[in-house]
Amino acid sequence: MRWLRIPLYALVCATVFVFAAWLTIRVLLTDESTVPCPDLTGLDVEEAKQLAVQKGLSFVTGRYEKRGDVPYNRVLLQTPDPGMPVRAGRTVTVVLSDGPMRVIIPEFVGLSLEEARAALSDRGMKLKKVLFVPGGTANQVVAQVPARGENILDPGGVTLFAGSQEKRFYVMPEVASADYGALLQEMDEKHLKHAATSMTSGQPYGVENGTLRCNMPPGTIFTEEDILELQANSGG
């Protein structure tokens, strides 16, 4: 029957161990001098320290750990674990993030690209890239990433989305007999770039009295980026 003694001894030892652990935990839980260790993970170091002190615990920083996705001075790990019963006055040791600093991202929406670039430069921030989207006012910022407010700054910088006016194409009409004033008004309404010159018969590109000429022949396809050079006889 000796072979039965070994598993019996093992069973007795296991029972004693479980009972002792249960009794210890029960005593700790019912002991008024113990408190559940607060969860400090994710908090800023000052917030974590304040919470620990409020619970009657000491607070100490163990080390920093390099993390690119957690802001600087945020708690990554702690000992004892959150929720564990601890005696008042016990020291909570934390591991802090050596990650990027948090910054206040300003509002760029509504600014022109030139103004947004200047604002980024003034704050020492990088412009990651500019993406143009259809609609909106040309070269005006309509969205940004990261958005306004506190954020972990992307090491690559800020991405701006700007409006892009749809390019329009025009066909140059015959202007020789057009009304000079009406033609200029129409071009202004369509935001066409033009340089109008009043000519006299003795100047280059001699034109007939009351007629117009343009540097683009009739039927030429052009856009609002092209400059139309008009020459008009002032009459006489």
- For residue 95, give the CATH number of its domain: 3.30.10.20
Task: Give the residue from 69, 100, 131 where a domain finishes.
Answer: 100
Task: Give the residue from 123, 144, 164 where a domain finishes.
Answer: 164
Q: Which residues neighbour 144 within 8 Å (Cβ) at sequence distance 6 or greater?
A: 105, 107, 108, 109, 158, 159, 160, 161
Domain count along the chain: 4
Per-residue pLDDT of 27-50, as tens digits, reads 555 555 788 999 999 999 999 999
Mean pLDDT confidence for 117-144: 89
**Is there a contact between 36 and 43 (Cβ–Cβ < 8 Å)?**
no
For residues 82 and 56, membership in a common domain is answered with: yes
For residues 71 and 86, membership in a common domain is answered with: yes
Task: Give the residue from 164, 187, 206 where a domain finishes.
Answer: 164
Q: With bands split at pLDDT 50, 70 and 90, how would you rate the model's confidence at 202?
A: very low
pTM for the whole structure:
0.44
pLDDT for 233 equals: 65
Based on the number of CB atoms within 10 Å of its own CB, is 149 exposed (0-12), middle (13-18) or buried (19 or more)? exposed
For residues 15 and 56, membership in a common domain is answered with: no
Q: Which residues neighbour 224 within 8 Å (Cβ) at sequence distance 6 or greater?
A: 167, 168, 170, 190, 191, 192, 193
Residue 225: name the closest of 198, 197, 190 by CA. 190
| Domain extent for 136 | 102-164
